[in-house]
Amino acid sequence: MIETITQVNGAVNDFVWGIPMLVLLIGTGILMTLLTKVFQISHIGHWLKNTIGSIFTEKHITEHTGEHDKSISQFQSLCTALAATIGTGNIVGVASALIFGGPGAIFWMWIVAFFGMMTNYSENVLGIFYRKKNSKDEWAGGAMYYLKEGLGSKPGCKGLGAVLAVLFSVFCVIASFGIGNMSQVNSIASNMNAAFNVSPIATGVVLTALAAFIIIGGLKRVAAVTEKLVPFMAVAYIIGAVAVVVCNAGSIGPAFAAIFKGAFAMEAVGGGIVGGGIKMALTWGMKRGVFSNEAGLGSSVMVHSSSNVKEPVRQGMWGIFEVFADTIVVCTLTALVVLTSGLVDLNTGAVLTPEKGSALVGHAFGSVFGQFGPMFIALAILLFAFSTVLGWSHYGSTAFEYLFGTGATTVYKVIFVIFIFVGSTMNLELAWDLSDTFNGLMAIPNLIGVITLSPIVMKITKNYVDRHFRKSDVKPMYSAYAEIQEMQERAHTIDDED
């Protein structure tokens, strides 16, 4: 039975991640980059100042919302989103990309990230613009809302928007148990067992208890944990990775050369056929890039939409920074750690050790830190993967709420927590394969929505740029529902006058 499921999933996975998906994914990023006039470059100083820079200069960015305010701060929304994106993909995913796609896969991860910045930006802009309050007075937003309300508002698209919203939600719920749960905790359990000889059952019990306390407490409790956990784990990992790369500084130049040569198969990957090398580098770079930063999936927009910000572009800029931090910074450092450690033949791209996944990265850290290297990676995966579980619990809960109502989210959270124990105690290679499949399936309706609503994103961005850079007195575009309500009020006023 499992073998049959694996074969079927493999066929679906190959179809989902085929050339059409790569074209759709990159094409959407290119489209949004052009429509926003290369915002990620032309306004790089502005979005850096208003994201990472604002943490130190603007108190309201990190200031918690009131007890009765169900929204979270901009910094908490970023940390919760990064909690879900900075996960095993930054370690295991990068290692897999190097093993199966060669060093050139890293170049294509960069390309995905560069254009993915504007895809993620667009998702967040649409998320804020089309979000609404639920019965608990919480902000509810995401791809399902801009598919139903945005795409569905176009002539003849009401049914299409509603169907795509449901499909996205279903795919998201299923994916949350794969990419956001079992595959993550399975990595934690196996690494804790290998590095510290901790029983997977013991790991499962502890993780399940911690997750239950945090997740069932709701988004504000999840955000309160991630805003402390994410900065710590990211800074600690970056410091460790930089230390390894600096110690191997003589190999930095050759490592970058291998990345660029491998991207275009100037040298055959692993001694293989040159054409196949290009395809493998491109495919694995794209897949692992999306798995890592999730740009195009429509996932992180669900937590960004809960932010207390009212300006769509302000939250969109956090989306740009999210992809930048995840892929350009963390994934690149992981790749350099492996490539400069002598574990990869920089001429052919062949990996010179049988170790795979986190073990490969642990070996690379061990070249500088000795026996502490694999332990450091085991602890990093513990923090990275557990934070991903917390972030994805909110994504799945939001999608479940859309499908079954606000009151049903408790049922989802309980089931999600139970699957944490299941994931930590079982061999779940299939869960990783299913994660790739449902990642791709989530992306399809989301990207259709982003492309269809791209004129709205362009209009909102132009409105923001006009107000902030050209000192125009145009009216801000904050919410689709506010505009609809205002139009209705105007119509009532005209009727009353008549």
pLDDT in tens, 76-134: 777 776 766 676 778 878 888 888 888 888 998 899 899 999 999 999 999 999 998 87
What are the phi and psi torsion angles at 299 (to 5°)?
A: -85, -60
For residue 294 the two structure tokens come to 């999730």
What does each C-alpha distance from 189 to 49, 87, 288, 388 come to in angstroms? 39, 14, 22, 15
pLDDT at residue number 450: 96
pLDDT tens digit sequence for 311-334: 999 999 999 999 999 899 999 999
Mean pLDDT of 424-447: 74
Give, as one character, the DSSP assignment of residue 476: P
Rounded Cα distance, 342 and 191, in Å: 23
pLDDT at position 341 = 92
Higher pLDDT, 225 or 240: 240
288 residue type, one letter: R
Please report the beta strands in 85-232, taking only residues with DSSP state E, as ranges in sequence order: 132-133, 139-140
Residue 438 has pLDDT above 50, yes or no: yes
What does the pLDDT look like over 341-387, one tens digit per residue? 988 888 877 888 888 777 888 889 998 998 888 888 888 888 888 88
Among 394, 376, 334, 326, residue whose Cα is nearest residue 86: 326
pLDDT at residue 496, as a whole number: 47
Query: How far is 155 from 364, CA to CA, in rounded Å?
Result: 56
- SS3 category, 464: helix
Is the pLDDT assigned to residue 481 strictly greater than 80? no
First-to-final CA distance of the chain: 70
72 φ/ψ angles, rounded to the nearest 5 degrees = -120, 165
Average pLDDT, the chain: 82
Closest by Cα among 101, 189, 88, 199 to 423: 189
Whether the per-residue pLDDT at 464 is higher than 90: the answer is yes
Percentage of the chain modeled with pLDDT above 90: 36
Using one digit for the tens of pLDDT, what is the confidence trace for 292-302?
777 888 888 88
Please report the domains of the chain, with CATH numbers, ordered by start residue.
Answer: 10-472 (1.20.1740)
Helix 104-130 vs helix 274-293: angle between axes, to the nearest 10 degrees? 30
Whether residue 340 has pLDDT greater than 70? yes
Residue pLDDT, tens place only, 386-427: 888 888 888 899 999 999 988 888 999 999 999 999 888 776
Confidence of residue 452 (pLDDT cuts 50, 70, 90): very high
Q: Dihedrals φ, ψ of 351, to 5°?
A: -80, 130
Task: Tokens for 12, please give them.
Answer: 């679906």
